[in-house]
Structure 1
Amino acid sequence: MSDESFSESEAEELVKVEEDSFKSKPINKQTRSWLIPLCGGTGLGIAIALGSMGILSYLPARQQTAVANKAAPKVNPAMTVTVATVEKTRIARTLNTTGTVAARDLIPVLPQANGLQIKIIPEDVKEGSLIKKGQVLAILDDSILQAQISQAKADVESKQADVASKQADLASKLANTISNQAIVQQRKADLAQAQAKLEEAEKNFRRYRQLAVSGGISQQELDTRSYTMKTAKETVRLAEENVYSAQANVGSARANTSSAEANINKAKADVRSSIAKVQQLQAQLGQTVVRAPVSGIVAEKLARVGDVTGVPPQTQVGNIIGGTQKLFSIIRDQRLELQAQVPEIQLPQVEVGASVQITSDLDHRVRLQGRVRDIQPLVNDKRREATVKIDLPPTDLLKPGMFARAAITTNTTIAIAVPQKAVQPQPDGSAILLILSGADTVRAQKVEVGEPIDDRLVEIKSGLQLDDRVIVDGAGYLKEGDKVRVVSQAGEQGSRGAGEQGRNN
């Protein structure tokens, strides 16, 4: 303020001196009147300049005074951190192995009719397609079957006409048999009449012979009676022969009838055979439509339009099953399995039903939960490994033939685990954890680290106590004795209610 006051008074004094100077020279007033405004303006400019200099020197002083008057801030902790409380957790011990993804149930689709050309394959039927049971996979050319069916039907009609002809012949044979049977009856009647006449002639002959002995009649009369008796006997003999002959005719007629019946039966059998052939061809006609036997995914498409069923191309010689060409392969219900190889010395650790974690080196999205379904009884005598079949859940990330890793759960145990990023590796190969001592002080603790449990947690074998508070976020920037401020508990350990965690064996 003193600099500003001095400057202003000095300027006023200079202006006053100039005015007095002008007043003391009245003679020159008229001649030098133009100097008055000039001197006044000059003095005013000097006053303004001096005032400005005072103001400029005054402002920094005020700012320094304001900064000096501010209260000194409180010293903050070194860093804001999060902590995790050390707790027990259940760890699943696992056996790591590798294997190949395969179809659990691969169903071959074979043609039911051989020798037919493949006419149509729907565009939506290709490898990897999802299909349903009964869906059309291919249509075969049925023109040959249609011609065979027409010929077989004509043959049936011809055989049926032959049956009708033979039935008419049978009716004729039956009529002849009946006629011969009537003749037999007539001959028998003639025989009975001849036998009656013979009996009468014999009686007469015996009576006349007694009369001839007594002389009642002549010898000639007796000879006549004897001749009549002999004639009657001959008549009886002829009648018997006629009966036998008629009976023979009946037997022959019956034989002809039986033969006619046999011919009819054979003709009817021929008709049935022809009808069966028609039905077989019609069934084959239905088989010209190849349908999916099960629902699933098309794993292989071996058929091509123009191929003849039962006659595979040279490139598909290995796709013959039971003498029939395989057209497609279907993975039933999309079910896959991992065929993992396990050394024989580790087989006792694996149990059917054990949980398995499936991963892939090529696709990190693959994190599937499988289960051991079967352990093959045979061990490879060269590699000393057995195949363990692991059921996989339905997925689009894995395909048959792909490589995958499996962590088979062998047992579970209780251990201490902390977040991996809380562990601070040391140059000598050891590791430390920064533990919160009291409310805000950092303490370094050397620990023995076990194997990683998963991508978040690691097992601590020794060096920690339950309920210790381990610094997680910010641990890499701290040292022992630093002051910190805890904002929240780290949620990364998740040991409470987290269930089983995996650990490599």
Structure 2
Amino acid sequence: MKKYAKITALMLAMLLVAGCAQKNKESSEQTAQTETITNVEVSKPEIRTMKDEYKYNGTLKPKDTVNVVGTLSANVEHAYYEVGEYVAKDAKLFDMDTEDVQLSINSAKASLDTVNANIRSAQTGVDLANGSSMESQLSSAKNNITNCQTSLENAKTAAQTAQKGVDNAEIQIKQAEIGVKNAQTAIDNAQIALNNAQIALNNAQQTYSDNRQLYEVGGISMEALNNSEDALEQMQNSYNTALNAYNSAQAGYDSANASYQSAVNAKETASNSLTTAQRAVQSAQTALEKANDDYDRLKNTTASENSRRASDSLNTAQASKSSVLAAIDQAQSKLDDASVSSPISGVVLEKNVTVGGFYSAGQTAYKIADTSSMDIEVNISENISSILGLGSKVDITIPSISDEKFEGAVSELSPEANSDGTYKVKVRVPNPDGKLISGKFANISFAKEESANALSVPRNSVIHKDDEYYVFIIDGDKAVKKNVQIGIDNGDYIEIKKGISVKDDVVTTGQTYLKDGDKVNIVADDEENSSNTEVSTEVVTEENSKKGDSK
């Protein structure tokens, strides 16, 4: 009985083992291996001109800027151009009121009338002394006294008018002195603000330069670089605003000082007119006295003495006429200066005259800028200056305007280093359509090295690992690793000197998931592949089948 029980247990154990083996075999045959297929985007290499560049930044300035000043102090009667308008060379900018100048001319002409009367009187005396009857001479002398009395009254009236001009000018001087003090206070406040803005700008420029270097070595993102560039532009704008405020305060001071000087000049002009009028009074008084003397002399002196004195009087009167004519010419010259024209063609940047307001000689009335070309000044290092020359082409971008590249050329290259070892360079950019605006922040790229017809791929498609550079190209449905020799890297594209051809499909997205020989699935740019870069498929392999059989 025990023997049968042992046999039964043994058979049950054998059946159990056989059943497990059969189950494991079926499980192995049905086991599937998961094989990875990576979604990738590809593009073919492109032929382009590659440049290795040094980048600097500066601000746009007009090619030429002229401060237009006048030589006459007077009220503004007409102003023909406003800020932002284009003005042609020799176009009239503004006219000044010529009433005061005309008054000076009239006063001088009045003096001339008196002098001419003196000459006539002296000539009459000469004529009378050289002939005619005594009765006729006395009658003529009496008429001359009457004429001289009239000239004296006219001269006194002119002197009174001139005295009023002097009094008014003294009032203007006192008012102008107050304006100068107020303007100086405004300049002091604006200077403090400008100094603070300069410090902030210097800090922003240093931050941007540091971030540019960090970006080029992959230390920061493009967004961080753009933020620092935006901050730099904001600081530049703040500095420009502070500079404009300072310039405005300076202009206010110049205007106040010019008003003061103008008032002084006005007093001087009025004083000159007064002096001229007083001389005319004195001349008329002298003429009257002389006429009386001539009359008395006719009655009391000999003919010979009369002739000598008459000749002396004629010579004196003729000399006075020359002096008065010179004064008239000077006043006429001031009258010609009453209209002021533009010395260049350009755009009006500043207008500092107001119709009805007072303009002082020497004050900047208009600022005209020739914006047909714009200049950018930067300080470059010695190694860059050695590869540049006059006329060297450079690329320029103005972020606040557009992404468009503008081409400029080196117009000035200083042969002498600055105190910090840099060299000043001026770049000129054509501006025929007026798109470039003064004060805008500009990026300048100086080409250190250039490669024409270079084979290039997107920068992110090249992988650098363990002192080698490589890309993945597509061969059928597999990714093939290709070691490459790189050239110029401009930040967006890398030059490929050796390793691939223009016909290859280079992986531009998904390459970081790949290794040599991996299967890939090429997708278009607009397909969603950012989160699902791998596709799993079930494939029953021969190896797994054999493993299952062995079990």
What is the TM-score normalised by the length of structure 1? 0.51
For the Cα contact (< 8 Å) 1:298–1:331, is it kept in 2?
yes
Match of 1:265 among 303, 314, 318: 318
Is 1:404 the counterpart of 2:404? The answer is: no
| Cα distance in 2 between the residues matched to 1:271 and 1:365 | 68
Judge which range, 269-278 or 294-303, deviates more.
269-278
Tell me which structure has the larger Cα radius of gyration. 1
* 1:154-303 alignment, distance < 5 Å: 154-172=110-128, 259=312, 262-263=315-316, 265-284=318-337, 287=338, 289-303=339-353
String of CA shifts for 1:462-494, please: whole Å, max 9, x gaps: 433xx4413269865997576999x9xxxxxxx
Q: Offset of 1:168 from its aligned partner?
A: 3.3
- Partner of residue 94, structure 1: 53
Contact 1:174 1:257 in 2 (8 A): no
In the TM superposition, 1:49-448 aligns within 5 A as: 84=44, 91-114=50-73, 116-122=74-80, 125-126=82-83, 128-172=84-128, 259=312, 262-263=315-316, 265-284=318-337, 287=338, 289-305=339-355, 307-310=357-360, 324-381=362-419, 383-394=420-431, 396-410=434-448, 412-413=450-451, 416-420=454-458, 423=461, 425=463, 432-435=470-473, 443-448=480-485
State the Cα distance separating 1:283 from its structure 2 match: 1.8
Deviations 1:324-364 (CA, angstroms, capped at 9, x unpaired)? 21122111254320011112454223222111111134333
Does the Cα contact within 8 Å between 2:55 and 2:443 map onto a contact in 1? Answer: yes
Q: Secondary structure at the match of 1:324?
A: coil
For structure 1, the residue ranges without an aligned partner over 5 or more in a row are: 1-77, 177-248, 311-322, 488-505
Shift in alpha-carbon separation, 1:266–1:91, aligned structure 2, 3 A: same
For these two proteins, the number of residue pairs brought into alignment is 315
Corresponding position: 1:463 with 2:419: no
SS at match of 1:96: strand
- Which secondary structure state, in structure 2, belongs to the residue aligned with residue 408 of structure 1? strand
Q: CA deviation at 1:414?
A: 5.3
Distance 2:426 2:455 in 1: 32
The CA deviation string for residues 357-414 of structure 1, in whole angstroms up to 9 with x for no partner, is 1113433345211111112344332x33222111111154433333221112345445
Contact 1:160–1:271 (Cα < 8 Å) also in 2? no
- SS of the counterpart of 1:117? strand
SS of the residue 1:340 aligns to: strand
Query: Residues 159 and 270 of structure 1 are in contact (CA less than 8 Å); yes or no, is this contact kept in structure 2?
Result: no
1:406 and 1:283 map into 2 onto residues whose CA distance is: 47
Counterpart CA distance in 2 for 1:169 and 1:276 is 30
* Counterpart Cα distance in 1 of 2:55 and 2:329: 61
Deviation at residue 419 of structure 1 after TM alignment: 3.9
In 2 relative to 1, CA 454–298 (structure 1 residues): closer, same or farther, beyond 3 Å? farther
Distance 2:418 2:508 in 1: 52
What is the alpha-carbon distance in structure 1 between the residues aligned to residue 504 and residue 303 of structure 2? 120
Report the residue type matching 2:483 in the other structure: K
Change in 2 beyond 3 A, CA 1:399/1:258: same
Q: Which residues of structure 2 form unaligned runs of 5+?
A: 1-37, 133-301, 525-551
Contact (CA 8 Å) 1:294, 1:332: kept in 2 or not? yes
- Does the C-alpha gap of structure 1 residues 330 and 86 become closer, same or farther in structure 2, counting only changes over 3 Å? closer
Give 1:253 deviation, angstroms: 9.0
Give the deviation of 1:264 after TM superposition.
5.2
Question: Deviations 1:126-145 (Å, cap 9, x if unpaired)?
Answer: 1x332222344334333323
Task: Name the SS of the counterpart of 1:266 in structure 2.
Answer: helix
Letter in 2 for 1:463: G
Tell me, yes or no, if the aligned pair for 1:350 and 1:410 is still in contact at 8 Å: no
Q: Whose relative contact order is higher, 1 or 2, with alpha carbons under 8 Å and at least 6 apart?
A: 2
Q: Is the 8 A contact 2:130 2:307 kept in 1?
A: yes
Aligned mates of 1:349, 1:377 — CA distance in 2: 13
Identical-pair percentage: 19
Once residues 429 and 329 of structure 1 are traced to their aligned partners in structure 2, the CA distance between those partners, rounded to angstroms, is 60
Q: Which amino acid aligns with 2:90?
A: G
Distance 1:134 1:472, change over 3 A: farther
